Amino acid sequence: GQQVMQIPQYQHVQEGEDFTTYCNSSTTLSNIQWYKQRPGGHPVFLIQLVKSGEVKKQKRLTFQFGEAKKNSSLHITATQTTDVGTYFCAGPVDTSRRALTFGSGTRLQVQP
């Protein structure tokens, strides 16, 4: 079925190392959103990308939307313990369904 895949499922890094999570859709997306869920919390919106090849930055976080609008990435430079959580991408994958489809998520653990 139409879906959004994320890799890796889990990553453990030392504080100060970089981290990247990748999101791949089986269909072309009109837009993609990224969310962060802290342990025990609920997903919180980070950013939305709309244009092909778009790159947006939020401090140490860099978000990219692929040229074909079927993949996206989130890169964190010099991770901190506050970056711990699960990062989800989400998009309108299924045009017959009006809801956002969330990726499986990447859980980031940062070792101090």
Nearer to another protein, 80 or 95 (CB): 95
Rounded least distance, CB 37 to another protein, Å: 9
**Bridging pattern class, strands 19-25 and 4-7:** antiparallel
**Whose Cβ is closer to another protein: residue 63's or residue 88's?**
88
Least Å from the CB of residue 48 to another protein = 7
- Under the rule (CB under 8 A), what is the footprint of another protein? 30-31, 33, 35, 41-45, 48, 50, 88, 90-92, 97-105, 107
Could you tell me how many residues make up the chain? 112
Four-residue CA torsion sign, 58, 62, 67, 69: negative
Least Å distance, CB 32 to another protein, is 11
Contacts of residue 16, Cβ cutoff 8 Å, sequence gap at least 6: 78, 79
**Pairing state of beta strands 10-14 and 106-111?**
parallel
The CA distance from 103 to 25, in Å, is 9
In the bound state with another protein, the residue whose beta carbon lies nearer, of 35 and 63, is 35
Could you tell me the smallest distance in angstroms from the CB atom of residue 22 to another protein?
15
Which CB sits closer to another protein, 1 or 112? Answer: 1
